[in-house]
Every structure is written in C-alpha cells, then in structure tokens.
Amino acid sequence: MTEMFHHKIVFLGPPGCGKTTAVQTYSEIETVNTDVKATEASVTMIKETTTVALDYGAVVLDKETKIHLYGTPGQERFDFMWEILGGDSNGIVILVDHTSEDPIGTLNFYFEKVHDFLEKVPSVVGINKFDSPSSHGLTLDDYKAAVAKSDFKNIPVYEVDMRKEDDVRFLVMTLLFSNPLSLQKEAE
C-alpha cells in the first residue's frame, strides 16, 4: 500500500476576496465553513455572511497526494486563526480583491502581518475579480511592482478567478512545485 502525503494550503486575505469560494471551487468533498451573518459595517458592505473560524475542503490529486485546503477569516480581529492555520502549512495563497478600495495597501498589510510565515513557506499572490471594473486602474504589473518593493520579491503574482477550478488548481500547483524542500519535509 502506498503512503499518502498530505499537504496543507492556506488561503489568506480580507473579507470578500474569494477564500471561501476558492475552497468550495476546488474541494472534492463537501466543504466545512463557519460563516455567520456579518455584523461589521466594513464587511456588510461587501457581503451578507463572513467566515469566523475557517473553511475546509480537500482534494486527492493521485493515490499518493492529498491537498487540505483552508480558508481563513478575513477580519483582523480573527488574526489568531491566521497563525493557527498558517503555522504548519505547505503553502500560503494571499488573495487580493482587485475591486477593493486599496488593493495594494491590502497586499502590503498581509505581507506585514504574516511576514514570519512568508519567510518559511512557499507563497503566491492571487489577484481576484480582475475582470470586474475598479476605480483605481491598477494593472497586474502594478501588483508585481508592489511585491518587488516588499521583502518577498520572488513571490509570484497572478490574475485569477476563484470561481474557476483551473485557476484555484493553478495556484495550488504553483505552491506545491515551487519549493521541493516542502515536499521533501512531508516525505520524511
């Protein structure tokens, strides 16, 4: 019998950026979510419900590889969950809502808040809702320039749609194949 290797991918970002959607889109199992009615004014303007603990889903890639998908709550008051879920992850996806008021500021905020994880774990940035109109006129190159100015110059940045399974899969595969050491660690 072949041993199954388990990989943990964490989706991180502000409320409404697509974390829950990403987990639901790619998971092969019925997802677990902890959505409740949103009460914060900044969140109710974006959506009716919000994640307060985590989203969970999973996908089996082959007979040896299972991916566990976790979505974090977006509100800063739940930042303790970012640490709990991110601590032993094999990869972090930072999602940014292109239509938000200050997506570059949001990206920089998450770089600062999870700085320690990003130094240890493969990461990727997904710019979600790029096909929707925005008031700031940012391009993908603007996001790449913001990453280049950060401490994490080598983190790739992609335009994605978390409603599309291929886009979520692409982010996950980018993480799994970006750092052979993380895969090696699982094998030990």
Domain ranges of the chain: 5-176
State residue 187's pLDDT score.
40
**Distance in angstroms (rounded) separating the CA atoms of residues 178 and 161:** 21
Q: Buried b / exposed e across 107-136, counting CB within 10 Å, b at 16+?
A: bebbbebbeebbeebbbbbbbbbbeeeeee
CATH of 5-176, one of 1.10.600.10, 3.90.1150.10, 3.40.50.300, 3.40.50.2300: 3.40.50.300
State residue 153's pLDDT score.
82
State residue 77's pLDDT score.
64
Burial of 151 (0-12, 13-18, 19+ CB in 10 A): exposed
The series of mean pLDDT values per 10 residues for the chain, 188 residues long, is 81 90 93 64 55 79 89 73 74 92 92 84 90 82 92 89 95 81 42
**Distance in angstroms (rounded) separating the CA atoms of residues 109 and 86:** 16
State residue 164's pLDDT score.
96
A 10 A CB-CB count for 140 gives 13
**Distance in angstroms (rounded) separating the CA atoms of residues 152 and 110:** 12
pTM for the complete prediction?
0.82
- The HSE-up count of residue 21 (CA atoms within 13 Å, CB side) is 18
